[in-house]
Amino acid sequence: MSTPTNSFWNQLLHLPGYEVVFCQDEPDFPRYRFTLAPIHRVGVCPDCGKVTDCIHQTRSWEDVKDLSLCDHAVELTVRVPQFECLHCQRFFTPAVAFMAEGAHATERFLEHAARLIRTSDLANTAAVLGVPERTLANWYYDYLQRRPAPAGQKVKPIHRLGIDEIALKKKTSNTRP
């Protein structure tokens, strides 16, 4: 069986600033594992604003969840360079535009999860997406905090109170002597 070229995967995944350098098809699971690397290996220092191509080290973020393709789950390994600015002697790692801050998931994965949670519930969405429920809950609440507030409204903190906690309180308050 022939495998599609990396340019095919680049067009299909459409992750800005990064390209597919490796694809592994795991038909038993079924899952695709993609390794991504930055297209341009330069960064702009956040302290002095100078451009540098001096890479101090490269880190990999592994097992990053992305939207599934057909019946295959998708996990990404994202190579992220840490740059050294030769002008001000600082080290920095640029943000990855498609990555969700504080989560091992892409922003579009979290957008999809949020849509599913709004029409269903957290437990079912976690089961469908193959993510532990508590992990998805943390990602979801962080995702909601990052979203811009509608015009004219002030963002309020989200208080976490689940249905199970309410049911538990009702049971304990009725069973007391």
Average pLDDT for consecutive 10-residue bins of the chain (177 residues)? 70 92 88 93 90 92 93 93 92 91 92 93 92 94 81 66 57 56
Q: Where exactly are the structural domains of the chain?
A: 1-99, 107-177
Task: DSSP letter for 10, please.
Answer: H
| pLDDT the model gives residue 106 | 95
- CA dist 30 and 70 (Å) reads 10
pTM here? 0.76
| pLDDT the model gives residue 148 | 74
| pLDDT the model gives residue 2 | 43
Backbone angles phi, psi at 168, to 5 degrees: -65, -40
In terms of DSSP bridges, do strands 43-44 and 31-38 run parallel, antiparallel, or are they unpaired? unpaired
Using DSSP, how many helices (H) and how many strands (E) does the chain show? 5, 7
| pLDDT the model gives residue 6 | 79
What is the CATH topology of the domain spanning 107-177?
Arc Repressor Mutant, subunit A (1.10.10)
What is 55-115 written as a DSSP string? EEEEEEEEEEEEEEETTEEEEEEEEEEEEE-TTT--EE-PPPTTBPTTSSBBHHHHHHHHH
Helix (H, G, I), strand (E, B) or coil at 132: coil
65: which strand partners? 75, 105
